[in-house]
Structure 1
Amino acid sequence: MAKRLNNESTIGAVLKQIIQVNKLQPGMDQIDVKEAWRQLMGNGVNTYTRNVVLKNGTLYVELGSSVLRDELSHGKSKIIRMINEELGRDVVKDVILR
């Protein structure tokens, strides 16, 4: 059973504790990374993005265009940096474009 919180806790602190106690962080990271990809890449890239999955620190992105995949492969380190900056923590360690 979870530890009882005092009445002076903020909602943010309570939500963080719920996420931590219930081990929901990997799922939250998955959602955050998908949203960050959508916002950072824009409509042009999102049109060809089929799937975005975060697994063990590796971001797997399935693209519908081999030309776009080749272009994005040149900027993997920039993509990693941009997503991690957007999230405010190091979640993505590698990017694999398929």
Structure 2
Amino acid sequence: MAKRHAENISIGDALKEFIGANRLEKGLDKVNAKEAWDSVMGTAISKYTTDIKLDRDTLYVQLSSSVLREELSYGKEKIIKLLNEEMGKELIKKLVLR
């Protein structure tokens, strides 16, 4: 059972506490990584993205265009930096384009 607080807390704080107590961070990080990819890369690149998977500190992105994959491979470090900034934490350390 969750413990009750005598004082009033915000819903945001209650959700953070719930997520931490039930160890849901990894699942939310996976969802946030997909949303960050779409947000940072835009709709043009998202159209060619077929699958995104976050495994530990590596983001695997499957693309349907080999030309786009080659172009994005030149800017991996910048993409990683932009994705981490979008998510608000240093979550991705390596990017694998497939």
Question: What TM-score bracket applies, with the shorter chain setting the length?
Answer: over 0.9
Q: Does 1:65 align with 2:65?
A: yes
- In the TM superposition, residue 43 of structure 1 has moved relative to its aligned partner by 1.6
Residue correspondences, number: 98
Using the alignment, how far apart are the partners of 2:9 and 2:93 within structure 1? 33
- In the TM superposition, residue 3 of structure 1 has moved relative to its aligned partner by 2.4
Using the alignment, how far apart are the partners of 1:89 and 1:15 within structure 2? 18
Using the alignment, how far apart are the partners of 2:48 and 2:68 within structure 1? 8
Indicate the percent of aligned positions where both proteins have the same amino acid. Answer: 48
Structure 2: which 5+ runs fail to align?
A: none
Q: Does 1:20 align with 2:20?
A: yes
Using the alignment, how far apart are the partners of 1:85 and 1:5 within structure 2? 33
Using the alignment, how far apart are the partners of 1:5 and 1:15 within structure 2? 14
Aligned to 1:45: 45
Using the alignment, how far apart are the partners of 2:3 and 2:90 within structure 1? 28
Question: Structure 1: which 4+ aligned runs deviate by more than 4 Å?
Answer: none
Amino acid at match of 2:92: V
- In the TM superposition, residue 2 of structure 1 has moved relative to its aligned partner by 2.4
Q: Helix, strand or coil for the counterpart of 2:12?
A: helix
Structure 1: which 5+ runs fail to align?
A: none
Aligned to 1:80: 80
Q: Helix, strand or coil for the counterpart of 1:3?
A: coil
Q: RMSD across aligned C-alpha pairs, in angstroms?
A: 1.0
Q: Does 1:10 align with 2:10?
A: yes
